[in-house]
Amino acid sequence: MGKQIMNHYYLISSKEQRQVASAFAPQRTKLNHELIQDLNGVSKMPFELYLVKLSVGKNGLIESDDLTGLNEIWLDYLPNSLAWPFFSDKLKDVVDKSLTGKEGIDWITAKVNGNGEQKEYYIPRFEKMLDVLDMEKTMFVENTDAIIRPFFSLLKINHFAIFHIPQSHDLWKITSGLYINEVLKKAIQKEKLTGVSFEKTRVI
């Protein structure tokens, strides 16, 4: 009997909807890498976010404070202006139950307001940079550690239910670049969680 190869997937927002509610941070919010530094040792976002309706127009995205016409505003994987993963309590619970214990994840809470309601979302933060790459196959910008095309080592990523691409400047701590194994993907699909899609990724 041959060795079973487990598939892995890149976690992305669903592409099916032409209109979606997205959580927007206040104007003049710090850049992501600055915000990550400010959040060291902190478990709550220092500001609240507000839902905005995004629609696809002829000339790009259209923003509106009017949320009418949306089938669902509180998606389990909520788009946001920070481009960070915002998980509902249901999605967080599914992830927590799937973790192997080697990922080193803690959670930051974020309050999001919309339609006269306020809900809490959860942002995964890695406590350590995970060793996941096949360094011989991964393509880098010449003479830098900037990744052009990542390839993951199956032997390395089999230890994790969810993992990130290694990045400089602490960007790996809170990142939109999340990858999951097939067990977690199936658990998310079983619970019919909203707003999330999957792209198969390269594993050696």
Angle between helices 182-190 and 89-98 (to 10 degrees): 140
Distance CA(18)–CA(22), nearest Å, equals: 12
Model confidence over 47-92: pLDDT tens digits? 999 999 999 888 888 899 999 989 899 999 999 999 999 999 999 9
Per-residue model confidence (pLDDT) at position 169? 78
CB atoms within 10 A of CB 201: 16
Distance CA(194)–CA(126), nearest Å, equals: 24
Q: What is the pTM of this model?
A: 0.92
- Of 44, 57, 184, the C-alpha closest to 121 is 44
Residue 78 β-bridge partners:
none
Using DSSP bridges, classify how beta strands 162-164 and 178-181 pair: parallel, antiparallel or unpaired.
Answer: antiparallel
Per-residue model confidence (pLDDT) at position 161? 97
Q: Are 112 and 50 in contact (CB under 8 A)?
A: yes
Give the pLDDT of the chain (204 residues) as one tens digit per residue.
Answer: 334 456 899 999 987 677 899 999 999 999 988 999 999 999 999 999 999 999 988 888 889 999 998 989 999 999 999 999 999 999 999 999 999 999 999 999 999 999 999 999 999 999 999 999 999 999 999 988 888 988 999 999 999 999 998 887 789 999 999 999 999 999 999 999 999 999 998 786
Question: Does residue 34 sit in helix, strand or coil?
Answer: helix
